[in-house]
Structure 1
Amino acid sequence: MTDGLETDVDGATDAAARRDEVVAAVTAHAGEIARELALLGGGDYGQETFVTDAGAWTLKYDAGDVQYLRFEPTSGSETYVVSTKQPPKPEALADAMADYDAFVEAYNRHVASFDGVLEDVSTEFPAVASTESLVVERDRIVRRIRDVADAIAGELHRYDGEYGTFSKTISKTRWELKWDGAVASYLRVGGEGGVYLLSQYEPPSIPDLRQYVGDVPAFVAAYNDHVDDLEADLSRVSFDPD
């Protein structure tokens, strides 16, 4: 008893210790549910809500660990039974735990609802069409474009220097060839962000190639006109995709 006061102060240590024991047990048990949900959902994180007669339980998890387990009763304030911030009050925890078994049963029903869902799903799939002939034809045309672009690059390298770009407008679209030495680094249609008919990385898509290959002769003709305008000793170049 404190001098001058008549009422003893009860210690909260026992209640807090018991609260922490319950929370630790729930965290471990709910962690099993979290890992099963992660397996079922096909990912490491997510959340699910399970409804009982007394309220709703929401379990949020990340990498199989419980981020929080929240109980929202049909009346009254919500309680975070498990939380990364602070433990629940003992009274609120006791109220929530009275419905915990119902939460687990709701989870079990959720899992059971998937029983037999995939039994009639067929794994006999249609044959996959081959792209081999398309790729062979694409690569053949790209090689022809490469040949003519390298020929232009070689002439421009001889006339204009080690590296540079040559651009012309074809069918109202900008075409640009960049050379580095006697080799074309790229042939691009449409400016920055456009389509690369040639590049150091990957071939163009077949639809893009189909759209622009018909204008390659016009680009070559524009280069030859450029040669005529220069009146210099640059060789003409021709292109025939066939």
Structure 2
Amino acid sequence: MVDGLNTETATTEELREQRAEILDAVTAHAGEIARELALLEGGDYGRRTFRTDRGEWTIKYEAGRLEFLLFESKSGAETYVVSTKQPPEPKALLDAMKSYDAFVEAYNEFVDSREGILDAVDTGFPEVTSTATIVDERDQIVAAIREVATDIAQQCYRYEGTDYGMFATTVDGTRWELKWEEGQVSYLRVGGEGGVYLLSQYSPPSAPDVRALAGDVGRFVAAFNDSVDELEVDLQEVSFSPDS
């Protein structure tokens, strides 16, 4: 018989159980630190490094939950005490845990350094000026624009002979588009695709946009009238004889 085959093989079960107990405790404890950091720093995810005499501890959290806890000794060795991968080797875990209390103390000092940092913030803010008057004026102007645009839409609906369409023209080099459907305005857009919607089925235009563009609405209407006049002239030139 080969020598050594009768030697009892050592098991690692007890050591693995001890490691699991330590890691469960560290995960729960460091998880509290992760939640507190997430609340303090106001983000769903982040990371922070704390220096100790024996090395650096980096804690990473996501959605307020501990993602990993890394210890980097001054010798350059890295130990992921807590991670989503395999647990650390027992000797590396032992070396890291010798500095764990110092890590917690460094975290506590970090929090203490923030105490009172907001005491000097003055929350006596100036009174907010109401925009009600501006909004009312904007809405009145937009209502007037919609009224004249609806007149154009109805005229287009009559002479185009289709349920929907668009009248487009250029005012001072800028494209204006009025899209209509069954005599109602779908939108009035200035500047083509990506431009400003003076009228739409959704939100109203901003007051600055109205101020910048309302003065050109008259020229847009004049351009429409010119197009109608031209069409009328063209139709007058059409001759038709039932006998021809």
Q: Same fold (TM over 0.5)?
A: yes
Determine which structure has greater relative contact order: mean sequence separation of CA pairs < 8 Å that are 6+ residues apart, divided by chain length. 1
Offset at 1:42?
2.0
Match of 1:73 in 2: 73
Shift of 1:123: 1.1
Residue in structure 2 matched with residue 225 of structure 1 by the alignment: 226
**Cα deviation, residue 33, structure 1:** 0.8
Structure 2 letter corresponding to 1:85: K
The CA deviation at 1:45 is 2.3
1:166, CA displacement in angstroms?
0.4
Partner of 2:240 in structure 1? none
The aligned runs of 1:30-41 (5 Å cut-off) are: 30-41=30-41
1:47-126 equivalent positions in 2, closer than 5 A: 47-126=47-126
Displacement of 1:117 in angstroms is 0.9
* Structure 2 unaligned spans of 5+: 234-244
Aligned residues: 231
User: What is residue 239 of structure 2 aligned with on the other side?
Assistant: none
Q: Paired residue for 1:178?
A: 179
Once the 2 structures are TM-superposed, how far is the Cα of residue 8 of structure 1 from its aligned partner? 4.9
Deviates more, 1:115-124 or 1:37-46: 37-46
Unpaired runs of at least 5, structure 1: 233-242
Distance in 1 between residues matched to 2:188 and 2:85, nearest whole Å: 58
- Note if 1:134 corresponds to 2:134: yes
Q: Secondary structure at the match of 1:129?
A: coil
Taking the aligned partners of 2:51 and 2:89, their CA distance within structure 1 comes to 22
Instruction: State yes or no: 1:157 paired with 2:134.
Output: no
Q: TM-score, normalised by structure 2?
A: 0.91
Where does structure 1 differ by over 6 angstroms across 4 or more consecutive aligned residues?
none
TM-score (norm 1): 0.91
Instruction: Classify the secondary structure of the residue corresponding to 2:144.
Output: helix
What's the CA shift for 1:14? 1.8
For 1:229, the aligned partner's letter is E
AA aligned to 2:51 is V
* SS of equivalent to 1:169: strand
Range with bigger deviation, 202-211 or 94-103: 202-211
**Structure 1 residues 171-200: Cα deviation after superposition (integer angstroms, max 9, x where no partner):** 101100001111111000111111000000
Displacement of 1:3 after TM fit? 4.5
Cα deviation 1:50-78 (Å, max 9, x = unaligned): 11111110111123321100001111311
Q: Which range moves more in the overlay, 80-89 or 116-125? A: 116-125
* Residue number in structure 2 paired with 1:187: 188
Q: Which letter does structure 1 place at the counterpart of 2:191? A: G
Q: CA RMSD in A?
A: 1.5
In the TM superposition, what is the alpha-carbon distance from 1:90 to its structure 2 partner?
A: 0.3
1:37 deviates by 1.1
